[in-house]
Amino acid sequence: MSDAASRPATLKVLVYSDDVTVRDRVQAALGTTLHPDLPPIEYVEVATAAVVLSHLDAGGIDLVILDGETAPAGGLGIAKQLKDEIDPCPPVVVIIGRPDDRWLASWSRAEAVVSHPIDPMKLGREVVRLLLPGTDPAPAR
């Protein structure tokens, strides 16, 4: 079976934030075609921790992006819970508000960390790095 035949038709990326503008910024930063070797991205927007867990329990999510500034359940705590409870857990990117929160991101076991305000190039590189290990992470734009 070729790589193209074994690839999903779309990548499902769950974006969690209680702030719709953060969810919109993530989607605008990544677009729908991130890299020529990746299928188009389909976003699953989530505003509550319970719905994040529901989607991950159901499966079919390829990448999770969590806003660490969301309240009452922050993305860092949810990342840790996902890594502890979901097997296999898709790669997780956390968005932090302060550089001092990097240690929490490490504790959460997230595979990537980006900061607010969202830098589209950095977020894109991190997502490509996670979804296509060993690939040039230059985004397709």
| CATH number of the domain encompassing residue 88 | 3.40.50.2300
Report the C-alpha gap between 112 and 114 in whole angstroms. 7
For residues 43, 88, 5 and 33, what is the CA-based torsion angle, rounded to 10 degrees? 30
Task: Please indicate, yes or no, if residue 140 is contained in any of the structural domains.
Answer: no
In a domain, 139, yes or no: no
Residue 137 forms part of a structural domain: no
Band the pLDDT of 44: cuts 50, 70, 90: very high
pLDDT higher than 60, residue 136: no
Assigned domain for 136 exists: no
By residue range, what is the domain housing residue 70?
Answer: 3-130
Q: Is residue 141 part of a domain?
A: no
Mean of the per-residue pLDDT values for the chain?
90
Classify residue 71: in a domain, yes or no.
Answer: yes
Omega before 117 within 30 of 0, i.e. cis: yes
The model's pTM? 0.89
Name the band, by pLDDT with cuts 50, 70 and 90, for residue 2.
very low
For residue 40, is pLDDT > 90?
Answer: yes
CA 138 to chain centre: 17
pLDDT digits (tens, 9 = 90+) for 46-90: 999 999 999 999 999 999 999 999 999 999 999 999 999 999 999
* Structural domain count, the chain: 1
- Does any domain span residue 124? yes
Kindly indicate the confidence band of residue 135, based on its pLDDT and cuts at 50, 70 and 90.
Answer: low
pLDDT of residue 61: 97
121 falls within a domain: yes
